[in-house]
Amino acid sequence: MKVKPGISTAHKTLVPSEISHPLVTAEIWKKCGREVAIATVIETWGSAPRPVGSHLVIDRDGNFEGSVSGGCVEGAVIAEAIDIISDGKAKLLEFGVSDETAWRVGLSCGGRISVHVERLD
């Protein structure tokens, strides 16, 4: 990472564009002593709001940065992540709905996604 004016950590300074990336947020939160989980979209089918590789970082208190989908899916991922922080067991979460209910839960056009959630140690 480039060292420029921004937020200072123990050994480097982060610029605002770097701070907004969920993986950088995870690094900062860990250095501050927060317990953290990372959710990553690993597969999509049909129409999905976020592409493969999208991240959501969550701490024990439910604070989060980034996105893996939106709607009810995001809330479910955050709830699972808090449990994963406690027990340390990674999970693969799969979400998919019919076209009739897709918009209500945040998966447009009946898309499906797989999200891997793990505690960052």
* CB contact set of 68 (below 8 Å; sequence gap of 6+): 39, 40, 41, 50, 54, 55, 56, 74, 77, 113, 115
pLDDT digits (tens, 9 = 90+) for 26-76: 999 999 999 999 999 999 987 788 899 999 999 999 999 999 987 778 999
Q: For residues 99 and 63, is the Cβ–Cβ distance under 8 A?
A: no
Query: 94 pairs with which residues across the strands?
Result: 114
At residue 14 the predicted structure's pLDDT band, cuts being 50, 70 and 90, is very low
Q: How far is CA 15 from the centre of its chain?
A: 21
Distance CA 41, CA 33 (A): 25
Integer Cα distance of 99 and 21 in angstroms: 31
Per the model's pLDDT, the better-predicted residue between 95 and 58 turns out to be 58
Tell me what the mean pLDDT of segment 73-90 comes to: 95
What are the backbone angles phi and psi of residue 74, rounded to the nearest 5°? -60, -45
* pLDDT over 80 at 106, yes or no: no
How many CB atoms neighbour CB 71 within 10 A?
Answer: 17
pLDDT given for residue 111 in this prediction: 75
pLDDT score recorded for residue 17: 47
